[in-house]
Structure 1
């Protein structure tokens, strides 16, 4: 059964232990003890600890840093990470403007594939913070229902993207989301594929490059022909409108909307997991690092 099918039932953490022989209960317990001694962090479930530990390749010290970055970034960026139910105007609008869904099947290497695209070329309602909120909500539903994947590949379809969308992207949102994606989100992001390339792709890449680690930026693969994508993502696991055997992207998107609509308790719990800013060491330094860029990307020159 596809992970997108209702009802939403969180995976039993025991099943994650059984599937992953590298995951050690004693390492999880070490992180539990550390969390008890770290007063600015909120209560964290055992499954969440497991997801962080897996994403950090079982490195305890790196997991500690990732957990702190995750919760601190989410607390300081409520425009992106707060109000996660379907009734949130930013999320509901994002779901009308774009699509972000983890495909039902894994690659032969056990990797998850996240498909992202805009639904139409009108940029009037587009909001970059709302689009990333949709991505984050979808990915967390997947992680908590299916557990961690070996790695994650992203497929960015630019078919309906216009220069008007790019002009509405703010460097502040790009900076915060990319920092979170690389330093806090409990996934192993392996590579980013770009398909249906647009003429202004060079300008889009110029916007994100300053905020990406070299290894992630170098992982970006640009496909002028979708058939080259099949070398990384098997054709059969893609939606039918990309030549695959899966349901269409719009059908998957509809199922995701239904799932989000029926998981209020899950989203509210995540909304409640905020740090105590009064107890977080060096909070001002973190804020300055996180919010170092401001304004919108209005200085692009049209060729």
Structure 2
């Protein structure tokens, strides 16, 4: 990215080039990620050089795509490269999950399970709502349920705001039963956790779990051995008591079902936004590993550790 850089103070440089982050986001990116125009340029050049040396990987090398990984890894190029590899390895080893991986192929019933709120939490971070308890296996096969979530995460990763300040999840388990748990694919569930922890180029800052039932305890027991300490430490288990939830997500922005008095969740508006990026998904689907990269597990950055409800 080229442009004019204006010196604002001795330790802060404002990028005024086309496509640059807002001044507010630039300040956050500088303070939390160490991002400067010079570091961004140098890191992009080095990451592209290292990707060119990967004979089996046909990766996207445009700045917009690579910045997702550099920002989530705070401009450590080696970690960003590992993240890119893991991203493509997860896609390559997930079989039919990524076949017809397009927003237009998400069935209507699956679109009531995921959405991003227009409002932010107290730290200005976007809020992504996930409602697994509303999933109806007889209407939406688990593969479609799983794929819809991955499409959402892929869309969110494109957002420079999410790349810079991160995102928080609000997971509503009301209505989640043992029958639904039995309809899930454990292998795909593990792949999803693997994707979130090692592959997804998103700064996941907090996970708020609400209205969890006994079936959630069974699910939690299944995923706990594969949950790493970093993710475990960011989980908050609220049940039906939203007092602590409201300390981080104000009731003014939450709908009535979460003890708030904000607007209702607008799933249709969110999915129109996702569908508008259809061409980006089509282009992205053309990249990845060849046959030699198939069935390779992500490089492990940290051993799984047990997590305890807070």
Interval containing the TM-score (normalised by the shorter chain): 0.7 to 0.9
Contact (CA 8 Å) 2:113, 2:135: kept in 1 or not? no
- Quote the offset at 1:28 in angstroms: 1.6
Q: Show the counterpart of 1:38.
A: 54
> How far apart in 1 are the matches of 2:65 and 2:135?
37
- Residue 15 of structure 1 pairs with residue 26 of structure 2: no
Q: 1:154 Cα deviation (Å)?
A: 1.2
Say whether 1:74 aligns with 2:85: no
Inter-partner Cα distance in structure 1 for 2:177 and 2:225: 22
Aligned match of 2:102: 85
Which range moved further: 195-204 or 239-248?
239-248
Q: Kindly indicate whether the alpha-carbon contact (under 8 Å) linking 1:121 and 1:162 is maintained by their aligned counterparts in 2.
A: no
1:1-303 counterparts in 2 under 5 A? Answer: 13-15=19-21, 19=26, 20-21=29-30, 22-23=34-35, 24=39, 25-41=41-57, 42-88=59-105, 91-92=106-107, 95-96=110-111, 98-118=112-132, 120=134, 122-147=136-161, 148-224=163-239, 225-239=241-255, 241-244=257-260, 246-249=262-265, 251=266, 253-278=267-292, 280=293, 286=297
Task: Report how far residue 236 of structure 1 moved.
Answer: 2.4
Q: What are the superposed Cα offsets for residues 2-38 of structure 1, whole Å, 9 maximum, x if unpaired? A: xxxxxxxxxx753279723322221121111111221
How many angstroms apart in 2 are the aligned matches of 1:51 and 1:86? 20
* Partner SS state of residue 171, structure 2: strand
Q: 3-state DSSP class of the match of 2:143? A: helix
Given the superposition, is the C-alpha separation of residues 141 and 81 from structure 1 closer, same or farther in structure 2, using an over 3 Å criterion? same
Q: Is the 8 A contact 1:70 1:180 kept in 2?
A: yes
TM-score by length of 2: 0.77
Mapped to 2, the partners of 1:80 and 1:150 lie a distance apart of 29
Q: Residue 196 of structure 1: CA displacement?
A: 1.1
Alpha-carbon distance in 2 for matches of 1:204, 1:284: 25
Contact 1:126–1:165 under 8 Å retained in 2: no
CA gap 1:231/1:80 in 2 versus in 1, 3 angstroms: farther
> Relative contact order: is structure 1 or structure 2 higher (C-alpha 8 Å, sep ≥ 6)?
1
Alignment partner of 1:153: what SS?
Answer: strand
Cα distance in 1, alignment partners of residues 285 and 123 from structure 2? 33
The Cα shift of 1:118 comes to 4.0
The CA deviation at 1:127 is: 3.5
Q: Deviations over 1:229-285 (max 9, x none)?
A: 112222223345434465312x2x11122223333211211221222233x4xx565
Q: Report the Cα distance in structure 1 between the residues aligned to 2:295 and 2:252, rounded to whole angstroms.
A: 48
Q: Following the alignment from structure 1 to structure 2, what is the Cα–Cα distance between the partners of residues 110 and 276?
A: 40
What is the DSSP-based 3-state SS (H/G/I as helix, E as strand, rest coil) of the residue aligned with 2:102? coil
More strand by share: 2
What is the distance in 2 between the residues matched to 1:277 and 1:132?
24
**What secondary structure is seen at the aligned counterpart in 2 of 1:156?**
strand
Kindly tell me: are residues 246 and 39 of structure 1, through their superposed partners in 2, closer, same or farther at Cα, counting changes over 3 Å? farther
Q: Deviation string for 1:52-72 (max 9, x for gaps)?
A: 011112211111100000011
CA distance in 2, matches of 1:256, 1:28: 31
5+ residue gaps, structure 1, are 1-11, 290-303
Q: Which runs of 5+ in 2 are unaligned?
A: 1-17, 301-310
Cα separation, partners in 2 of 1:142 and 1:200, compared to 1, 3 Å:
closer
| Count of residue pairs the alignment pairs up | 270
Q: Displacement of 1:213 after TM fit?
A: 0.9
